[in-house]
Amino acid sequence: MSTPFSLDMQGLTKAFDGSQILRGVDLQLHPGERCALIGPNGAGKSSLFNLVSGRYRADSGRVLLYGRDITQCSPQQINRQGLARSFQITSLFPRLTAFENVRCALLWTLGYRYAFWRRLGQLHDASARAQAVLERVGLGARAQVPAGELSYAEQRALELAVTIAADAAVILLDEPTAGMSRAESAAMVALIREVTVGKTLLMVEHDMQVVFDLADRIAVMDNGRVIACDSAERIRANQEVQALYLNRRRHG
């Protein structure tokens, strides 16, 4: 059955040790749109990412990727079906070069898709692609530098390269500009915009400047639910969202 949604989250719930963390998350994303996921600490944003990318199993509800149910799939199966989640810097291999890190990610995604993966031609393809992806994120000249020796901003760009390497249609980024200076953050926003053209982006982000610069829609999570998902203008005017952030300021 055809679906207008690239990513469709329906009634997702998850509890840990008896405490309900996700309480019925509904969120639908269209192909080609960029959506920022915001909300207070503990709202459930990372848990939702973990669930959509297969790291956690939902207690109930469904996740559809271009209409295909991926709720019970493993992270690698989900990845191979076209959803990539950003790896944190901590999951880069610091002693491997930038090039080797991207190539490893490609092999992980593609490795089982082709029966004759070990054929030299395909290894060569992966190498060429890894270099091309590094060029795209501005790290072409840094390809042979160990990841651990790159600057912080370069490591974040490498993290992005690793995420987009296999050309997934749906990309989940977790605070891609956290810890960056304003200038680095602006450069990262430009880069993300460029590499996600035509793709679906769901991005957890606390920096509202980045959110407003990049997102077509903003989804607001609170207490395990998406309470609103709309344009920046409408989210700003949304009374429930205003109350959430005003309350935080008063109590936080």
Ligand X SMILES: Nc1ncnc2c1ncn2[C@@H]1O[C@H](COP(=O)(O)OP(=O)(O)OP(=O)(O)O)[C@@H](O)[C@H]1O
Distance between CA atoms of 226 and 142, rounded to whole angstroms?
Answer: 40
Using the minimum distance from each CB to ligand X, give the nearer residue, 133 or 221. Answer: 221
Least separation, in Å, of the C-beta of 179 and ligand X? 14
Least separation, in Å, of the C-beta of 215 and ligand X? 17
Distance between CA atoms of 57 and 134, rounded to whole angstroms?
Answer: 33
Least separation, in Å, of the C-beta of 178 and ligand X? 10
Distance between CA atoms of 182 and 85, rounded to whole angstroms?
Answer: 24
- CA nearest neighbour of 80 among 57, 47, 122, 113: 113
Answer yes or no: are the C-beta atoms of 43 and 224 closer than 8 Å: yes
Answer yes or no: are the C-beta atoms of 97 and 143 closer than 8 Å: yes
Using the minimum distance from each CB to ligand X, give the nearer residue, 21 or 241. Answer: 21
42 in contact with ligand X (CB under 6 A): yes
Least separation, in Å, of the C-beta of 18 and ligand X? 10
Least separation, in Å, of the C-beta of 235 and ligand X? 17
CA atoms within 13 A on the CB side of 27: 33
Binding letters toward ligand X, positions 111-130, x by CB under 6 A: --------------------
The interface with ligand X within residues 1-40 (CB under 6 A) comprises 16, 21, 39
Using the minimum distance from each CB to ligand X, give the nearer residue, 16 or 114. Answer: 16
- CA nearest neighbour of 7 among 199, 146, 156: 199
- CA nearest neighbour of 159 among 48, 180, 40: 180
Figure out which of the listed residues 2, 41, 90, 144 binds ligand X, where binding follows CB under 6 A. Answer: 41
Least separation, in Å, of the C-beta of 243 and ligand X? 18
Answer yes or no: are the C-beta atoms of 24 and 225 closer than 8 Å: yes
Least separation, in Å, of the C-beta of 91 and ligand X? 17
Figure out which of the listed residues 43, 83, 143, 195 binds ligand X, where binding follows CB under 6 A. Answer: 43
Q: How many residues bind ligand X (CB under 6 A)?
A: 10
Using the minimum distance from each CB to ligand X, give the nearer residue, 51 or 158. Answer: 51
6 token code pair: 């690239």
Binding letters toward ligand X, positions 44-83, x by CB under 6 A: xxxx------------------------------------
Strand pairing of 34-38 and 60-65?
A: unpaired
Residue entry with tokens 């639908």: 28
Using the minimum distance from each CB to ligand X, give the nearer residue, 49 or 66. Answer: 49
Interface residues with ligand X (CB under 6 A)? 16, 21, 39, 41-47
